[in-house]
Amino acid sequence: MDLLKNSFKAKADKIGAEIKEMLKEHGNKKIGEVTLSQAYQGMRGITGLVTETSLLDAKEGIRFRGYTIPELQVKLPKAPGGAEPLPEGLFHLMLLDELPTEQDVNHITSVWQRRSHVPKHVFDTIEAIPIKTHPMTQFVIAIMALQTESSFAKRYAAGMSKKDYWEASLEDTMDLIARLPRVAAYIYRRKYKNGDHIQPNGLLDWSGNFAHMMGYDSEEFKELMRLYMTIHADHEGGNVSAHATHLVGSALSDPYLAFAAGMNGLAGPLHGLANQEVIKWIYEMQEKLGTDLPSKEQIAQYVQDTITGGKVVPGYGHAVLRKTDPRFTAQMEFGKKHMPDDKLCQTIWNIYEVVPPILQSLGKIKNPWPNVDAHSGALLVQFGMVEYEFYTVLFGVSRSLGVLASLCWDRALSFPLERPKSVTTDSVKSWLEGKGEIWGD
């Protein structure tokens, strides 16, 4: 861990000095303008955040520290005999901006294994929640229960100096990431497997152990988890889970508090919950039509009915992307390799042919293409994980890698409290009538 800390500190000091110089010379340069529509319509297209770990290109998709998903599938170390990247390697890349060696990845695996102990009161807290509670709500409550363990909170209360915030954040980040699979697996086994819990296997990698604790021990499922945990980890800084984590962290709320905020955002159906909505929507379609392999014509009619009913087609559209999400493509490739004849995957691929032209024909949708959530459920169902309300928890465990690595950078670069300006419609009207400035007096 000391090696990781020293490398991070050296990198952060270097980038911090560069930013200082850059701002001295170019701090007043404009990087955009804000229109009235943007202020009213979800701040789309406003560049107002710095997030180091990844960058989203609207036409190309996500790059993690410059690398696309197909590049990561080649360049990141794999488990012995495996073909998918280990998310430990992606975390190393996002945190340190360096491709990891196998040794680096083994080091992170062993640090997370050593730090994975979950205190008993966290399990007691989960047990006190009604079992019918949505798994994402249970997950957030469990993260809040874990907050007793925050080094950042303890050290801040004891008078920690600003210059140590990054270190306490990194400590919490490593502890929290290490513990999340155990907490998530506990919630899964409690809700869906009669509380028949499975002990961790200290010889497995982070994702392999997570799969094992949930009760899925095939190598194929472990490979799926490695891929899943890698591709869901980060999507630059403006999405709801990343932005919420960053925003709450900017108040110097510790990483547990900040991450719980991000997970509350991920639990929304326009964001991470879309992965459960996709499978729910397909099951409802199958039931309505009385078939597990609806034709393209039947799918088209069902899509039209969904839109006419004032609902969105889950898994399609994106606030930034303007093409098929490469995270969808990576999962489609996994499906074609491991389960080419599966009817549910076939349905996902038929939907992919049918939906974009229909959405495009509405004339108002900026991106008619599938996003990450359009495919993930079908792969999980194939392995017997049919409890779709749990899917967003898997997404959340993965998202910890990106948003917590970013939070370490936020503190290392001394990013201040985030506090944009808001206006009222009355102040906008007065401004449009030429009576004073939009920001009031």
Binding status of residue 53 toward ligand HAX by CB under 6 A: no
285 binds ligand HAX (CB under 6 A): no
Measured from the CB atom, is 112 or 316 closer to ligand HAX?
Answer: 316
CB 254, CB 152: distance < 8 Å: yes
> What is the nearest approach in angstroms of ligand HAX to the Cβ of residue 388?
14
Catalytic residue among 92, 271, 325, 410: 271
Q: Which is nearer to ligand HAX, 197 or 322 (CB)?
A: 322
H-only helix segments in 362-390? 376-382
Task: Indicate the residue among 93 and 365 with the shorter CB distance to ligand HAX.
Answer: 365
State the Cα–Cα distance between residues 137 and 409, nearest whole angstrom. Answer: 28
394 binds ligand HAX (CB under 6 A): no
Per-residue binding letters, 187-226, with ligand HAX (x by CB under 6 A): ----------------------------------------
* Catalytic residue check, 271: yes
Q: Could you give the CA distance from residue 170 to residue 149 in angstroms, rounded to a whole number?
A: 13
Please tell me whether residue 121 binds ligand HAX under the rule CB under 6 A: no
In whole angstroms, give the CA distance from residue 37 to residue 55: 24
Nearest residue (CB) to ligand HAX, 159 versus 309: 309
CA–CA separation, 13 and 295 (whole Å): 58
Q: Shortest CA distance to 394 belongs to which of 225, 195, 206?
A: 225
User: Which segments of 193-295 does DSSP mark as H helices, in order?
Assistant: 206-214, 219-231, 240-249, 255-266, 274-289
* Binder among 99, 129, 289, 312 for ligand HAX (CB under 6 A): 312
Tell me whether residue 29 or residue 364 sits nearer to ligand HAX (CB atom): 364
Shortest CB 367 distance to ligand HAX, Å: 6
User: For residues 353 and 350, what is the distance between their CA atoms, to the nearest angstrom?
Assistant: 5
Q: Per DSSP, what are the bridge partners of residue 62?
A: 56
Look at residues 199, 178, 224 and name the one whose alpha carbon lies nearest to residue 82.
224
Examine residue 4 and tell whether it contacts ligand HAX (CB under 6 A): no
Q: Is 373 a catalytic residue?
A: yes
84: contact with ligand HAX by CB under 6 A: no
> Which one of residues 192, 316, 328, 388 is an interface residue with ligand HAX (CB under 6 A)?
316
User: Checking phi first, is residue 384 left (phi over 0); if not, alpha (psi -120 to 50) or beta?
Assistant: left
Cα 228 from Cα 230, distance rounded (Å)? 5
314 binding ligand HAX? (CB under 6 A): yes
Residue of 24, 59, 163, 364 interacting with ligand HAX (CB under 6 A): 364
Residue 420, amino acid: P
Q: Catalytic one among 234, 318, 325, 375?
A: 318
| Position of minimal CB gap to ligand HAX | 317
Alpha carbons 355 and 302: distance in angstroms, whole number? 10
Which one from 104, 172, 325, 373 is the annotated catalytic residue?
373
The reply on whether position 317 binds ligand HAX by CB under 6 A is yes
Pick out residues in 155-184 that bind ligand HAX (CB under 6 A). none
Q: Give exposure, 247-262, as e/b (b: 16+ Cβ within 10 Å).
A: bbbbebbbbbbbbbbb
Q: Pick from 90, 176, 299, 372 the residue near ligand HAX by CB under 6 A.
A: 372
Structure tokens at 95: 């945190």
Identify whether 2 is a catalytic site residue. Answer: no
Among 365, 379, 403, 408, binds ligand HAX (CB under 6 A): 365
User: Could you tell me how many residues of this chain bind ligand HAX (CB under 6 A)?
Assistant: 22
Among 17, 251, 270, 432, binds ligand HAX (CB under 6 A): 270
Under rule CB under 6 A, which residues in 237-266 are in contact with ligand HAX?
239
CA dihedral over 2, 179, 63, 76, signed as positive or negative: positive
Residue 46 interacts with ligand HAX (CB under 6 A): yes or no: no
Q: Rounded CA gap, 30 and 59, in Å?
A: 24
- Say which DSSP state 146 is in: H
- Region label for 32, one of left (φ > 0), alpha (ψ between -120 and 50) or beta (otherwise): left
Which of residues 365 and 393 has its CB atom nearest to ligand HAX in the complex? Answer: 365
Per DSSP, the three-state class of 180 is: helix
Q: Which of 271, 327, 375, 411 binds ligand HAX (CB under 6 A)?
A: 271
Contact 180, 225 (CB under 8 A): no
Is 327 a binding residue for ligand HAX by CB under 6 A? The answer is no
Stretch of 74-82, 92-100, 196-204, 310-318 contacting ligand HAX, by CB under 6 A: 310-318
For ligand HAX, the binding residues (CB under 6 A) are 239, 270-272, 274, 307, 312-319, 359, 364-367, 371-373
Q: Which residues are catalytic?
A: 271, 318, 373
